[in-house]
Amino acid sequence: MKILMVCLGNICRSPIAEGVMQKLAFDNGFNWEVDSAGTGSYHIGSHPDHRSIKVAKQFGIDISQQKARAIKKEDFEIFNHIYVMDRQNYDDVISLAANADQMNKVKLLIPERIVSDPYYDDALFLPVFEMITTQCEKLFAQLKNEN
């Protein structure tokens, strides 16, 4: 199973989603490839936002060594599922897809609501972490039956 988590900057939300899903897979003995990327290029090469690093660390997940990168067309060939955080991410990622098969790989991480950008509000990092974790647990339970 190969999963790509995507947000705008690849420094706040998708690094958390990568870390959480990676840990779930690893702790359950699954050798999954979980990565993350951004639709924007402002933060390429940066480590995650210190507030994302901190909240993940509180829950035993080290995301400090991740480095931001931009999503690229080849990602659609590599990953089975591409999960995005909000509608803008969805539109931006879909615009890079080459065909319907690739478009079908792109889904909102949480279908019934968006994970909004916590960048401008420190208080949002914990709820964002919790929201992502709850959904990753659900998704892991579904996806582990796919392989």
Binding site for ligand 4NP (CB under 6 A): 7-13, 42, 117, 119
Nearer to ligand 4NP, 65 or 145 (CB): 65
Question: How far is CA 36 from each of CA 21, 101, 145, rounded to the nearest angstrom?
Answer: 11, 20, 22
Which member of 13, 35, 49, 136 is catalytic?
13
136 is catalytic: no
Q: Output the smallest distance, CB 66 to ligand 4NP, in A.
A: 11
Which member of 35, 86, 92, 117 is catalytic?
117
3-state secondary structure the chain: CEEEEEECCCCCHHHHHHHHHHHHHHHCCCCCEEEEEECCCCCCCCCCCHHHHHHHHHCCCCCCCCCCCECCCCHHHHCCEEEECCHHHHHHHHCCCCCHHHHHCEEECCCCCCCCCCCCCHHHHHHHHHHHHHHHHHHHHHHCCCC
7 is catalytic: yes
Q: Output the smallest distance, CB 147 to ligand 4NP, in A.
A: 28
51 is catalytic: no
Q: Output the smallest distance, CB 145 to ligand 4NP, in A.
A: 29
Q: Output the smallest distance, CB 117 to ligand 4NP, in A.
A: 5
Nearer to ligand 4NP, 35 or 117 (CB): 117
Nearer to ligand 4NP, 7 or 24 (CB): 7
**Residues tagged active-site:** 7, 13, 117
